[in-house]
Chain A
Amino acid sequence: MIIEIGHFALILALVVAAVQSVFPVWGAVKSDHRLMGMAPSLAVAMFLLTCVAFAALTWAYLTSDFSLLNTYQNSHSDKPIIYKISGVWGNHEGSILLWVLILVLFGALVAVFSRNIPQRLRAATLGTQGWVSFAFLLFVVVASNPFGRIEPAPMQGTGLNPMLQDVGLAIHPPILYVGYVGFSIVFAFAAAALILGKLDAAWARWVRPWILVSWIFLTLGIAMGSYWAYYELGWGGWWFWDPVENASFMPWLTGTALLHSAIVMERRDALKVWTVFLALLTFSLSLLGTFLVRSGVLTSVHAFAVDPARGLFILAILLIFVGGSLTLFAWRAPLLRQGGLFSPISREGSLVLNNLFLTTACAAVFVGTLYPLILEAFSGDKISVGAPFFNLTFGPIMVPVLILMPFGQLLAWKRGDLWGVSQRLTLAFAISVIATIMLVWFMGASSTSIMTALGFGLAFWAIFGSLWEIVDRSQILKVGFARAVPRIMGFTPTVWSTVLGHAGLGFTVLGIVTTMAFESERVQVMHPGETLEQNGYHVTYERSWTQPGPNYDELVSRYTLRKGGDVVGVMEPSKRAYRASGRPMSETSIATFGFSQVYFATGDNDENGGIVTRIYFKPLITLIWIGTLIMSLGGTLALFDRRLRVGAPVTARRRKSKAEGAIPVAASPAE
């Protein structure tokens, strides 16, 4: 019964989406207040109905109702409760339902929270969001229905893929989806602006929080996926340039560009058409990612089922929305009033460069991701485009971004003084050089290549150059610590968000460079009592034993990790065999020292009681993910600033002028 209610709610949501797609947009074009007024309640209704459907499916998983084909194929009554819940989205139908749930959630959020935006824009935005919701709800109801029954109902399910039975899976998809799908509302705002033919700085102010929220979650989602792959797959790799990863990385790159161009639009009323284009492009790339991941074009752990009909359906949605939005853009964008002019040496000029490089980098990733698919379709040649290609193309394109970042932070709006900024950054540059020399010395100068040293330099420049804004704004070197502290306390969240966002990127780059240059790996058959030495650590294989887990049996091997005679870690990697499916699965064991990690994975026992042991030494690897956390924190602070200005614009501005008043206002917003 509950299942049927869920199914029915889903169909009702589809009907509501159909209504949402037509009337509010019509009302917005014709200025009919009654039609426009429908939009918020419809958005909320659609969200509630989808919630009911999602809850019904979750209920089936929690109660192990195997009369449902979806639960039978993907669940098992012995599974721990957390994996019963996460199993809801650990399959094709459920994950698409989660996708839709988040899609309609964003519609409902706009309906509830964006009360201060003009009614026409809100109605047109929710209407456009209705089109996307309609397309995906139709897909769920017609081609990807999670509520199919089987008769007679089996006694037991076949279990979830063991790789997906992990806390990482429980949280990675929802967070990634919030980012991915969040850009749909940005897309809807852009399409609405094009339909209404009205685009101004205020539009950017209304859209920016949504860009920020999506960007924060996308950043966290990608980072979490990377960490999950790192510890779960047992290869010690944290990024594979796999098409599925690229699928989420492309919207992140254009989303980051959008984040910055929207600032220019808000502050200077420039780059308007470009910002709208980026908004359309970013969600188009999200759709492309959904197509790549969910259609079965790629073979990956993310592609649950290869069903050609579903692939074609998603492809059709992709083509309609990308084609439709680009046509709308080509038709309406020329009618928009051109934005303001600005000098190339200025804050906005540097943000244009940021956009140029980020979108070019995205294009390189795009080519590398799609070229094998296209080549195979046309010539039949099967190739794989892997890390060497992306390191060669993506790497050099991102170098100028890192070099220019600190300059952009200090350049003034309208007309910047590049020479002056360079002088102000001299000390930051000197500190970066010193830090680089120290790190090279610490890592061993003879084993450091010139490229690695340059990589360190770039990372430190990004970190110290970004943090230098604190020193520069507070004038701490001139006025002294005591007078600088109140100034630093008075910084607006915007200042902190830029500083943290940029420095976070620097930390990530530092982690990447160090790991790539200095990671080492040891693979050896070890017998009980045997000790090996690597990177200053002594590893002793103690013994292994078998123990039962909730739904698997595992062979655990214990190693003692010593450094300078002291035991610094007891490592217990294991090999699991899941009872439901009989599938084997390796579990790694990781010890963290500072920002570095030692990583253990085991293979099979050989005849003589030896076990293949794989040990990785990953210097500073955690900085990769810590950097992304700092970036997300930066994004979150930017959100707070926005709230301040919406709630009390006058006070916020007054506070800002107070904080910056005494300083030669180098980078204050020229509004």
Chain B
Amino acid sequence: MTRKQKRLGLIGLAGLVLSSAVGLVLYGLSSSVTYFQSPSDIAEKQVEIGQRIRLGGLVEDESLDKSRGSVIHFRVTDQAEAISVQYKGILPDLFREGQGIIAEGFIDQKGVFIADTVLAKHDESYMPKEVYETLKEDGHWMAEEQAAAAAEQGSNVN
């Protein structure tokens, strides 16, 4: 083989690998990313049953129900709309009513959000960024001190 042929072969192979990778990446981005939704988004947009989403908002006050053993129920609100959430497992250490969380899962036929992951802040003054921004956009974020604190510090681990 001449130098030119070898080079063409190499470029061809690299092109093949890269184009397959681009195909995989595009397919992956269209099929396996999860969108972040607030309870209002869910109420408006009619999210498909069974579709994976990330739900963000505040845990509604006096909505936490641990009476049914390891299956925990609570409601997530953005002060305009709220949605029931069901989660089996151990809640994060800093999970409390009135605080911002992100839950990952899907909505079942009854309109209940079945979460398989619940992320809360890992820091006293932390509000998940997405939650904070949604609340701010919707005009429901009043407590300035808390907002400043949330902007100052951040930590979650996912």
The CA-CA distance from A135 to B73 in the complex, in Å, is 51
Once A371-B29, A397-B21 are accepted as A-B contacts, the answer to whether A234 and B90 lie under 8 Å apart by CB is yes
Q: Which of B89, B93, B151 has the most CB of A within 10 A?
A: B93
The answer on a CB contact under 8 Å between B157 and A233 is yes
Once A384-B34, A581-B124 are accepted as A-B contacts, the answer to whether A303 and B10 lie under 8 Å apart by CB is no
The answer on a CB contact under 8 Å between B90 and A612 is yes
The answer on a CB contact under 8 Å between A603 and B91 is yes
Instruction: Categorize the interface residue count of chain A.
Output: 35 or more
A229 cross-chain contacts in B, Cβ below 8 A: 157
The answer on a CB contact under 8 Å between B25 and A364 is yes
> Which residues between 86 and 107 of chain B lie within 8 Å of chain A, taking CB atoms?
88-91, 93-94, 104
The answer on a CB contact under 8 Å between B36 and A382 is yes
The answer on a CB contact under 8 Å between B122 and A389 is no
* Chain B CB within 8 A of A570 CB: no
A409, chain B: closest CB distance, angstroms:
20
The answer on a CB contact under 8 Å between B27 and A392 is yes
* Chain B CB within 8 A of A367 CB: yes
A304 cross-chain contacts in B, Cβ below 8 A: 153, 155
B119, chain A: closest CB distance, angstroms:
10
* Chain A CB within 8 A of B156 CB: yes
> Which residues between 21 and 49 of chain B lie within 8 Å of chain A, taking CB atoms?
21, 24-25, 27-29, 31-36
B32 cross-chain contacts in A, Cβ below 8 A: 385-386, 388-389, 392
B70 cross-chain contacts in A, Cβ below 8 A: 523-525, 603, 612
> Which residues between 59 and 92 of chain B lie within 8 Å of chain A, taking CB atoms?
66-67, 69-70, 88-91
B155's partner among A299, A382, A602, A614 (CB-CB below 8 A) is A299
* Chain A CB within 8 A of B110 CB: no
Residue of A nearest to B123 (CB): A161
The answer on a CB contact under 8 Å between B122 and A396 is no
The CA-CA distance from A581 to B123 in the complex, in Å, is 10
A353 cross-chain contacts in B, Cβ below 8 A: 13
B67 cross-chain contacts in A, Cβ below 8 A: 606
* Chain B CB within 8 A of A156 CB: no
Once A344-B9, A388-B32 are accepted as A-B contacts, the answer to whether A299 and B90 lie under 8 Å apart by CB is no
* Chain B CB within 8 A of A658 CB: no
* Chain B CB within 8 A of A289 CB: no
The answer on a CB contact under 8 Å between B24 and A364 is yes
Residue of B nearest to A341 (CB): B3
A305 cross-chain contacts in B, Cβ below 8 A: 152-154
* Chain B CB within 8 A of A35 CB: no
The answer on a CB contact under 8 Å between B25 and A306 is no
The answer on a CB contact under 8 Å between A299 and B154 is yes
A367 cross-chain contacts in B, Cβ below 8 A: 25, 29
The answer on a CB contact under 8 Å between B17 and A303 is no
* Chain B CB within 8 A of A45 CB: no
The CA-CA distance from A520 to B16 in the complex, in Å, is 39
The CA-CA distance from A14 to B39 in the complex, in Å, is 51
Once A301-B122, A303-B154, A303-B155 are accepted as A-B contacts, the answer to whether A393 and B25 lie under 8 Å apart by CB is yes
* Chain B CB within 8 A of A360 CB: yes
The CA-CA distance from A263 to B18 in the complex, in Å, is 24
The CA-CA distance from A235 to B117 in the complex, in Å, is 10
* Chain B CB within 8 A of A449 CB: no
* Chain B CB within 8 A of A356 CB: yes
Binding stretch for chain B, among A188-196, A280-288, A583-591, A624-632: A583-591
- Give per-residue flags for A565-597: 1 if the beta carbon is below 8 A from chain B beta carbons, else 0: 000000000010000011111100000000000
B153 cross-chain contacts in A, Cβ below 8 A: 304-306
Residue of B nearest to A243 (CB): B158
The CA-CA distance from A207 to B57 in the complex, in Å, is 51
The CA-CA distance from A454 to B28 in the complex, in Å, is 22
The answer on a CB contact under 8 Å between A300 and B157 is yes
The answer on a CB contact under 8 Å between A341 and B6 is yes
- Give per-residue flags for A269-300: 1 if the beta carbon is below 8 A from chain B beta carbons, else 0: 00000000000000000000000000010011
Once A300-B156, A364-B25, A523-B89 are accepted as A-B contacts, the answer to whether A383 and B122 lie under 8 Å apart by CB is no
The answer on a CB contact under 8 Å between A583 and B94 is yes
Could you list 9 further interchain pairs (A-B, Cβ under 8 angstroms) beyond the known A368-B29, A384-B33? A296-B154, A363-B18, A367-B29, A575-B93, A584-B94, A601-B90, A603-B90, A603-B91, A604-B91
Question: What are 9 A-B pairs with beta-carbon distances under 8 A?
Answer: A343-B1, A381-B35, A382-B130, A383-B34, A385-B29, A389-B32, A397-B17, A583-B94, A606-B66
A residues with a Cβ closer than 8 A to B are 161, 163, 229, 233-234, 240, 242, 296, 299-306, 341, 343-344, 352-353, 356-357, 360-361, 363-364, 367-368, 371-372, 381-386, 388-389, 392-393, 396-397, 523-525, 575, 581-586, 601-604, 606, 610, 612, 614
Which 8 residue pairs of A and B lie closest in terms of their CB atoms, listed nearest first? A382-B36, A388-B32, A603-B90, A389-B28, A584-B93, A525-B69, A301-B155, A299-B154
